[in-house]
A and B are shown apart, each in its own frame.
Chain A
Amino acid sequence: MSTPLIELHAVTRRYENGPPALRDVSLTVREGEAVAVLGPSGSGKSTLLNLVAGLDRPDEGTVTVAGTRVDGLGEAGAARYRRTKVGMVFQFFNLLDDLTVLENVVLPARLAGMRRAAARRRAHELLEHLGIARHSAAHPARLSGGERQRVAVARALMNRPPLLLADEPTGALDSASGADVADLLMELNGEGQTVVVVTHDLELARRCTSRTVRLVDGRVAMDEVTVR
């Protein structure tokens, strides 16, 4: 068995009103795994992902990623952690519209202090690898949804993070583009990338992951290994 990359221990997260978004969740994800987090809307999937990404903090419990206690980080520490340890992909792409595709992809590396030339070389490689190199000078608004999500994935992978997090990456895409992005994630996982995907799309879960975690009302209702 490979080493654990994500360890959630007895995590609870409450918002001001309503029942806790997550209650007493414990979960371990190992290096090289591809995990789908499934569940109905409002079940706490995004909350779980945000905790792992260091965007949010648990009220109880601990979150450890790649040996770092994520729940104990300050703002600047969390930023440094995200820069180096995680790449994130969102439902609505969240590309910066005023930057070109290439500039979007280069940005995380520049934030992490990589030299300009090296960053551009790496970005070109990635765009090439993801099959969107021909759009590198374009602005994201010009691209189709599937292409935009590829750019977002390239940006997420820029700093070679050990962990790739995706929140409903196909939620805003038609089924063909969705399948395309799913294939991409599977391919990346095949190359050894640890991937956690939040989705309510069973098809996506079956296609690209080896394990499904089902959340209901903020609890882990099921955790099973799937065969793809």
Chain B
Amino acid sequence: MSGLLSLVRSGVTRRRVQSAVIGLATTMSVTAALLGGSLLVVSSAPFEDAFSAQSGAHLSAEFTATAQDVAATASAASAVSASVGPFPTASTAVRANGIDLPPVTVVGRADPAGPVDRLTLVAGEWADGPGEIVLAASFPMTPTLGHRITLSGLPGAPSVKVVGIARSVTRTAEAWVPPATITAPQGHQMLYRLTAPLEVESALSAVTALVPSGTVAGSRSWLTAKQEAVRESALFVPFLVAFGVLGLVMSVLVVGNVVAGAVGSGVRRIGVLKALGCTPSQVVWTYVGQALIPASFGVTVGLITGNLLAIPVLGQTEEVYDTTLTAPLWVNAAVGFGALTVVTLTAWVSALRAGRLRTVDALAVGRPGGTRGRFAIRWFSALPVPIALGLARPFARPARTFGMAASVVFGTATVTFAVGLGMSLGVIQEARDYNTSDVTVGAEGPPHLSQLDPNTVTSTLAAHPDTDRYFGLARTEMTVPGMAGFAQIYAYTGDAGWAGHPMIAGRWYSSPGEAVVPTAFLTATSSRIGDTVTLQHKGKAFSIQIVGELFDTRHDGLAAYVDAATFPDLPPDTFFIDTKPNTNIQSYVDSLNNTLTSTTARPTDPGQTSDTIVVIGALTALLTLMLVAVSGLGVLNTVLLDTRDRVRDLGIHKSLGMTPKQVIALVVSSVAAVGLVAGALGVPLGTTLHAQILPAMGQAAGTNLPTTAFTVYSPALLAALVISGTTIATLSALPPTTQTAHTPTSTALRTE
């Protein structure tokens, strides 16, 4: 057997393009498979680990009742196995470094330890002295130890020093202070471990029954927290699976093409080996070996790349926890082994012909070949000779043509899918940041913090010459019977239609009593467009009819958008203004602030780019680049084989007076024709993939996606994508063709 090694080695080094294309294809598929596999396996593990390590709260509830009343819920004995609290809470605006941050919930907690929701100190120490605060890792500002921040919403607006950073697995608060700091609690928080962790709702009703009615202001289930924890990484899985599958198909194609091509063009060599005493299986294994060596290299590189890329991708999950996540060893082993198995099987099947080839036939040099494809020349006889010969060429070697076309089909499909995904992500990114207004007046925090007088604001806005249009927003939380937790209600005064809320289905509300809701609201209330749901607020019930579904992931998508007239008692707390074109926003804001006394105007926050979307975009670009390179190399390989086989033919053509340019026209016309057909097939494959994967990604994230995210392919773009197939093919074919075209005719004719 060992004598075969030198054959395999020389096969690998001599066929550089072929080895490179196999290596690259395996690298690509292994990278995608490793990332996808690791995400599936590890993404939920850290939450569960952290939850049990920290004795996370199965239920956290927020009460407006007195501390004594709340403390009594600790004895909801049958449902609750352990509890901590009540902790005084306050919602407060925060000012740090001269910047007003969105309001946060501050909890007065003396001890980070306890039987429930033990907090992990990530840095610094616990806030146990007056004037100290510990921030959660999820705090809206990057926490820096030693900085001072002002709790501007608390009486006296105390200034406190950041002494520590802590994590709560269920995110029970955004900051903790000693209980004494909260002199006027707005509520009390109680955290529970449950005897039956899955029956959060019945536990909540048991707790609710123990306090005066209407004093449960909010609650949160650990299941919601768990879902949120895996959501970011779950988003990656569908598209990584898509790339994994594309990569796998591509690897099979490439290995099959390369090995079958090597066998096809090495018939004489196979005959020689057999005449020297190689058994059929030895011959087959020399070809399998030629594929396996670059594939092993590709697997190694792919595993390294995959593990490196896993750092930022898994990091999306990791931020929430202490643990460092890496791709598990067994996933590495499974992916590597799987890839090598696929390569071996494919190569073996493709090389079987070499084993079966009759030695006598293999050695018979110069017996006239088949006449396949000759008929096609007649079809194109009206065209210039080189082009007619070129167009007929694909019919002469159907298997080879099929292999090349398949490379281009998948290359084009990948580009189509990737371009569409990129554009959709852009649309989604914009949709997340739906607020297109220029200026905001009022707080973005809870309504009760707003001291804004709507009449003053509207008259000020109306009087300002640079105001183009504006609307007011009133926010409140309402319960929905049958749905855990609260729905965020956004009630608009005036026409909010221009703010760019991205619709998924249905229409924007047109009259009081109609509502538009995000997907998650529909899911949570098991309702559909056209249904009527009842909202409860301060003991009153309101019926709203759902007329549309929109894209909104804030507040976990538990929200409803209505006309302000639906809730006449609710005054707007914020106004969003669009200024006239070419208005200087800062001077507009300054002039508003000169007039407004009880509230402030500021430029509307530009939305934050989601890290997840950035990482998905970068990964898509990388994987696409690799797949396109693989597909280009696949074409290059086919053309190399074909021209090598035909050097003599081409030599004869040239001796009869064909110019190098005509030789190039001959080869390029055959490749371009195949590329065009393959491109036309690849584009619909890519758009289909896009139409399948995108909703799957949305589902993983718990939302449907705005229609605009799907309608990204314009006819011009589709045409360009079809052309891209031909372009990949032609560009890959040019270098070997040019070289052949300029080979001296004498050399070409001498070749056996």
Chain A contacts to B: CB under 8 angstroms: 50, 53, 55-56, 75-76, 79-84, 88, 90, 92, 94-96, 98-99, 103, 106-112, 116, 155, 159
Find out whether the CB atom of B272 lies under 8 angstroms from the CB atom of A94: yes
* B572 CB, min distance to chain A CBs, angstroms: 81
A163 to B7, CA, bound (A): 26
A111 to B272, CA, bound (A): 13
Find out whether the CB atom of B277 lies under 8 angstroms from the CB atom of A76: no
Interface of B, secondary structure class, is helix
Mask for B1-40, Cβ within 8 A of A = 1, else 0?
A: 0111011001100100000000000000000000000000
Residues of A within 8 A of B278 (CB): 79, 111
Q: Identify the interface centre among B11, B269, B279, B752: most chain A CB within 10 Å of its CB.
A: B279
A75 to B359, CA, bound (A): 10
Find out whether the CB atom of A79 lies under 8 angstroms from the CB atom of B280: yes
Find out whether the CB atom of B277 lies under 8 angstroms from the CB atom of A83: yes
Let me know if B271 is at the binding interface, CB within 8 A: yes
A108 to B278, CA, bound (A): 8
* A72 CB, min distance to chain B CBs, angstroms: 17
* A207 CB, min distance to chain B CBs, angstroms: 25
A95 to B269, CA, bound (A): 8
Q: Tell which of B10, B14, B276 touches A82, judged by Cβ atoms closer than 8 Å.
A: B276
Count: A-B pairs, CB below 8 Å:
79
Residues of B within 8 A of A110 (CB): 2-4, 6
User: B interface, how many residues as a size bin?
Assistant: 20 to 34
Q: Report the nearest B residue to A54, measured CB to CB.
A: B359
* A42 CB, min distance to chain B CBs, angstroms: 12
Complex A-B: 15 CB contacts under 8 Å: A53-B275, A55-B363, A80-B279, A81-B277, A83-B277, A90-B275, A92-B365, A94-B363, A95-B272, A96-B272, A98-B11, A99-B10, A106-B3, A107-B276, A111-B282
A107 to B365, CA, bound (A): 22
Residues of B within 8 A of A83 (CB): 276-277
Find out whether the CB atom of B6 lies under 8 angstroms from the CB atom of A99: yes
Q: Within residues 729 to 752 of chain B, which ones have a CB less than 8 A from any CB in chain A?
A: 752
Q: A79-B279, A82-B276, A94-B275 are in contact. Are A111 and B3 (CB under 8 A)?
A: yes
Residues of A within 8 A of B276 (CB): 82-83, 88, 107-108, 111, 155
Q: Tell which of B2, B3, B271, B274 touches A79, judged by Cβ atoms closer than 8 Å.
A: B274
Residues of B within 8 A of A53 (CB): 275
A106 to B281, CA, bound (A): 20
* A121 CB, min distance to chain B CBs, angstroms: 15
Residues of A within 8 A of B281 (CB): 76
Residues of B within 8 A of A108 (CB): 276-277
Q: Tell which of B2, B269, B271, B358 touches A116, judged by Cβ atoms closer than 8 Å.
A: B2
Residues of B within 8 A of A109 (CB): 3
* B14 CB, min distance to chain A CBs, angstroms: 5
A38 to B503, CA, bound (A): 89
A79 to B279, CA, bound (A): 5
* A118 CB, min distance to chain B CBs, angstroms: 13
Residues of A within 8 A of B6 (CB): 99, 103, 107, 110
A50 to B32, CA, bound (A): 51
Find out whether the CB atom of A55 lies under 8 angstroms from the CB atom of B365: no
A53 to B271, CA, bound (A): 13
A95 to B275, CA, bound (A): 11
Q: A94-B363, A96-B269, A96-B272 are in contact. Are A79 and B277 (CB under 8 A)?
A: yes
Let me know if B360 is at the binding interface, CB within 8 A: yes
* B375 CB, min distance to chain A CBs, angstroms: 22
* A44 CB, min distance to chain B CBs, angstroms: 13
Find out whether the CB atom of B3 lies under 8 angstroms from the CB atom of A80: no
Find out whether the CB atom of A56 lies under 8 angstroms from the CB atom of B277: no
Residues of A within 8 A of B3 (CB): 106-107, 109-111
Residues of A within 8 A of B365 (CB): 92
Q: Within residues 226 to 281 of chain B, which ones have a CB less than 8 A from any CB in chain A?
A: 268-269, 271-281
